A and B are shown apart, each in its own frame.
Chain A
């Protein structure tokens, strides 16, 4: 069954510093991968997705992620964070065995950006 592990529950970082949020997935078949962001008291918004093609995916708000099949990872990066990036970030996977019909989410990583 598909599953997602987000290795850090919380990542504190200073404004303008780079950040990497880690995501590993478990699936032996073809996958689609996603990162979502949740701001306080709101629903989730899609940041970026990998379906196929280039392994480096660019999303909104300056975020990007790299799909690494051999390491089964899909880490999210931003070269310089802002206070407004403070939010919870969720990695999600959908695989061929499920017919790509369901998304499985990780437990989330809280990004805390301080001045």
Chain B
């Protein structure tokens, strides 16, 4: 079981370039999400998905797009990179969909190892 796999591990972009951060999970999880982690800021939710074909915005969605065409994959697209998007990005998934009853949190979030992105 690979768990949650993120690629690439490191990326350097120039301002204005676009790219896609990949996230794949092999646990048949319905719920997937993207967070960014910045020093002194903790983790902030960018976008999330409760199943194939369904996505929603989190706390900081501007400048990012997502899609969920399959259960396994949840790519994050940066449309026109800006220095403010320099961060570490984490993908996380869980079997249950948070919010669907108390039992939903009996399945914890599984995190990938992150993608460190620098925008110059």
Contact = CB atoms under 8 A, between A and B. Distances in A.
Partners in one complex: yes
A43 B112 contact: yes
Interface in B33-79: 35, 40-45, 48, 58-59
A41 interface: yes
Interface residues of B, number: 27
Contacts, number: 66
Contacts of A41: 113-114
B108 to A, nearest CB: 4
A87 B102 CA distance: 29
Given A43-B111, A98-B99, A101-B98, A107 B105 contact: no
Q: For the complex, would chain A's binding face be called helix, strand, loop or mixed by DSSP majority? A: loop
Nearest to A4: B42
A49 B103 CA distance: 12
Contacts of B104: 100
B43 A100 contact: no
Nearest to A107: B42
A51 B42 contact: no
B43 A45 contact: no
Given A94-B105, A100-B98, A102-B58, A107 B113 contact: no
Most buried by B among A4, A34, A101, A104: A101
Interface of A: 4, 6, 9, 32, 34, 41-46, 49, 51-52, 90, 94, 98-108
5 contacts: A9-B40, A43-B111, A90-B43, A99-B99, A102-B59
